[in-house]
Structure 1
Amino acid sequence: MAGTDHAPPPFFKRGPAPLALLTFYLALSLALFVIDLRLQSLDLLRQSVALVTDPIQRIAQTPGSLVDNAAAYLRGLHDLLDENARLKQAQLRLAPDLARLEHLASENERLRKLLSVKEREKASGEVARIMYTARDPFTHRIIIDKGQQSGIVAGQPAIDEAGVVGQVTRVFPFSAEITLITDKDQTVPVQVVRSGQRSVVFGLGGGQLELRYLPANADIKEGDLLVTSGLDGIYLPGFPVARVVSIERENSYAFARIRCAPIAAVENFGEVLVLSPRQPQAPRPPDSPGRSGNTGAPSKPGDK
């Protein structure tokens, strides 16, 4: 029978051999690699694939990134709290030193200014620290830490970096008393810088001064600077003393009433420069009757 010799169809349809497929795919991969290396023709395909796969990759990495970010945030918050606590403790420990350093820096700057005034005015003196003010509420006096052991004597003027502060009135072995220029018993001969007029300022108390003995029609204006004239033999000429703040002129009074404010910080700060006493100038010897213009010896009665 012819039908008995016919073979049944195979159960699985077999394709190319596995080795042949492996060889084909290897050759295709090498070809694509060479083409891409030489011609960069697969960049567009690569970008298209990356455009599709990048969102999927980001979504897949989101849970891990959230966990890492949360852990980093908690660690950073813990470190920040610890650092903040340490900084607060360090600030508390350093606060007294920082305040003292600021005070010392301000004090050092004032001392440098005092020394510059000393050089500029060609004056010598002692830098003294103010210990306290006098107990008498009706006077304006301060006590400094320099006295007889430092060569301080009564009458020496005291200045700061801005101008005249006062004058030494009493001296003790290790301290001295300075009467401020604002005291009612203190006077300073002054000169108006703008006009050159000379007068005297008197202390009024309460941090004010009064310029007296200027006529009502005197050439003086608000804001004029008053400096020491040096006529009293105590203060060197040219030290700033006060500035005019108000002027009252009345026809019924011969003199104008002029109020002034001190230039120096007479009630502030903690150091003053006590100037050395001025050296008295030797008086000029009077000319003898025989020296009327010539330098020769006077003629004797018998000389011709």
Structure 2
Amino acid sequence: MQTSPPAFFKQGPKPLTRLLIFSLLSIGLIVGDAQYSMLGRIREQVSVLLYPLQWAATAPFATLRNTADFLSRQTELMAENRQLNDAQLAARAQAMRLKALEAENASLRELSVRRDTVGQSSQLTEILYNGRDPFTSRLIVDRGEQQGVRSGQIAIDASGVVGQVVRVQPLTAEIRLISDRNQMVPVVVERNQLRTVVYGMGAHQPLEVRNMAPNVDIQLGDVLVTSGIDGIYPVGLPVAKVVKVERGSSFARVVCAPVAAVDRHRFLLLLDHRSDMPPYPEAASQPAGAGKHKKGN
């Protein structure tokens, strides 16, 4: 009886023999590659052939990782951009406040200089808001009866006369500007001391000198200052400047522009009442000889 397999079932050397052969071959390749770099080029070629497979295997994970990094960077950039925008807006607002404070300080310095030159006691007041009536030129200030403000006081800025106090409340006061239709100021022409009166013509309108003779000695550029003859306005405060003279057959129409910035400033000076003026006479004295003529009749 045959115990060995047929010839066509033979599979080569025995397993032990193949193990020894491949072990010796492996050791030889390891030693040769370590000493002489025999397999370097082969590895390079194999790596080139295997790179597409490696890229295909790692591409989804790399894409997910890059997408996550991109989204996180976008979120961080948006947050940083928002912070920078907020900081820029805050810096602009602070710059505008600083600019407003510089203008306010300049205005206060000018008012301080004006207070020294007027030579009359005064108090600083701040404008709160405009009057409610749009057809009048009035301002409401933050000084009232409790602070010693009285009706008739004159309000000025660094350039000239702004208006007059016409109503006083305990904590506030109302100033009628010189541009109001019901306001008039006795003035003199600074150049030749010609006395006249300046009338307001309404909000955002120029001033006017009325009822002057056609040949009146008023020229373009003349400065009108307070005359002081009314006992209210101090002498010499600038009021207006002549910008137009129309000479008709009956009267001359003189148009003036206020010297003071009646619609700009935030702070004003309120001049105290004059106490050095004698009281106004209650009744006019009789002409000389009027009593004798009556007695003789």
**With structure 2 as the length reference, what TM-score do the two structures score?**
0.64
Aligned to 1:257, which of 253, 260, 266?
253
Matched, 1:281 2:277: yes
Contact conserved, 2:231 with 2:277, CA < 8 A, in 1?
Answer: no
CA offset digits 1:205-257 (Å, max 9, x no partner): 13311012421101111111111111111111111100111111111x1x311
Following superposition, the deviation at residue 97 of structure 1 comes to 1.7
Matching residue of 1:101: 98
Q: Is the 8 A contact 2:245 2:255 kept in 1?
A: yes
| Unmatched segments (≥5 aa) in structure 1 | 1-80, 284-304
C-alpha separation in 2, matches of 1:280 and 1:177: 25
- What is the deviation of 1:269? 1.9
Conserved? CA contact 1:233–1:280, under 8 Å: no
CA contact (8 A) 2:153 2:270 kept: yes
Cα distance in 2 between the residues matched to 1:189 and 1:114: 23
Q: Normalising by structure 1, report the TM-score.
A: 0.62
Match for 1:271: what amino acid?
F
Counterpart contact for 2:140–2:174, Cα < 8 Å: yes
- Write out the 4+ residue segments of structure 1 that deviate beyond 3 Å after TM superposition: 84-90
Deviates more, 1:85-94 or 1:119-128: 85-94
For 2:128 and 2:196, how far apart are their aligned partners in 1? 33
Which digits, 9 at most, give the CA deviation of each residue in 1:3-45, with x for residues without a partner?
Answer: xxxxxxxxxxxxxxxxxxxxxxxxxxxxxxxxxxxxxxxxxxx
Counterpart selection for 1:122 from 103, 119, 123: 119
Once residues 141 and 186 of structure 1 are traced to their aligned partners in structure 2, the CA distance between those partners, rounded to angstroms, is 11
Equivalent residue, structure 1, for 2:181:
184
Match of 2:71 in 1: none
Using the TM superposition, give the Cα deviation of residue 124 of structure 1 relative to its aligned residue in structure 2, in angstroms: 1.4
Amino acid at match of 1:259: V
1:161 lines up with 2:158 in the alignment: yes
Once residues 133 and 259 of structure 2 are traced to their aligned partners in structure 1, the CA distance between those partners, rounded to angstroms, is 24
**Percent of aligned pairs with the same amino acid:** 48
Q: CA RMSD in A?
A: 1.9
| Alignment partners' CA distance in 1, 2:205 and 2:258 | 7
Partner-residue secondary structure (3-state), 1:99: helix
Q: Are 2:270 and 1:271 equivalent residues in the alignment?
A: no
Give secondary structure in 1 for the equivalent of 2:112: helix
Aligned position for 1:135:
132
Counterparts of 2:85 and 2:131 in 1: how far apart (Å)?
A: 42
- Whether contact under 8 Å (1:215, 1:256) holds in the other structure is yes
Map of 2:145 onto structure 1: 148
Q: Secondary structure at the match of 1:174?
A: coil
Report the Cα distance in structure 2 between the residues aligned to 1:191 and 1:214, rounded to whole angstroms. 13
Residue from 219, 229, 238 that aligns with 1:231: 229
- Partner Cα separation in structure 2 for residue 266 and residue 128 of structure 1: 14
Aligned to 2:239: 241
Partners of 1:92 and 1:136 in 2: how far apart? 37
